[in-house]
Amino acid sequence: GENVEQHPSTLSVQEGDSAVIKCTYSDSASNYFPWYKQELGKGPQLIIDIRSNVGEKKDQRIAVTLNKTAKHFSLHITETQPEDSAVYFCAASSSGGFKTIFGAGTRLFVKA
Amino acid sequence: SQTIHQWPATLVQPVGSPLSLECTVEGTSNPNLYWYRQAAGRGLQLLFYSVGIGQISSEVPQNLSASRPQDRQFILSSKKLLLSDSGFYLCAWSLQGLGEKLFFGSGTQLSVL
């Protein structure tokens, strides 16, 4: 079945450093790749997304890259701040589909 | 603007007791609705989704059921809870026809003891 693998499971960085989270997907029909941030005790919130016709997308300090050939996509956070500490989930889905497949999550710690 | 309400925030229930979690969406019509479960330290597992009133699709055979009695109301139920039903339950919605960007509620932490 469809699968999304996410690495690392835990990431600790110093404030101001960059953080990179990587995901791979198995379903070739996937064409939408969102990233969600989940703070403790809350529901996940969409922070950035990318579609398969785009290789890179940036929004201030966060960026996402997609390599369709290798079925890889990554989240990059630059100039990390303590408030970036949270669990981040990658996901993959196909147009019109209702099954968004999530990665297992990455717990990011940003040390002040 | 659209908002999603989910309650209760926490719930402690004995094994064998019934369950009812409710979710409502405001500010949009005919949304797709979803129930996800998140086990501790793990990803999100899709349990049910609905594209309209009375239309429920189940993704994982289990002890739970879902209902959509009104356009913007989604209910997760169980007749008899099991220990393995413990987890963080999330309701979500997306625009009809797209099924992509998900907007999550604040979740219910269910502990079955």
Whether B109 sits inside 8 A of A46 (CB atoms) is no
User: For residue B103, which amino acid is it?
Assistant: F
Pick out chain B residues at pLDDT < 50. none
Query: Regarding beta strands B65-70 and A56-59, do their DSSP bridges make them parallel or antiparallel, or are they unpaired?
Result: unpaired
Residue A98: predicted pLDDT: 74
Chain B: give the shortest CA distance to residue A104, in Å.
4
Residue B21: predicted pLDDT: 96
Residue A99: predicted pLDDT: 81
Q: How many Cβ contacts (< 8 angstroms) between chains A and B?
A: 60
A45 close contact with B: CB closer than 8 A: yes
Write the pLDDT tens digit of every residue in A54-104. Answer: 899 999 999 999 999 999 999 999 999 999 999 999 999 887 667 889 999
Query: What is the Cα A108 distance to its own chain's centre?
Result: 12
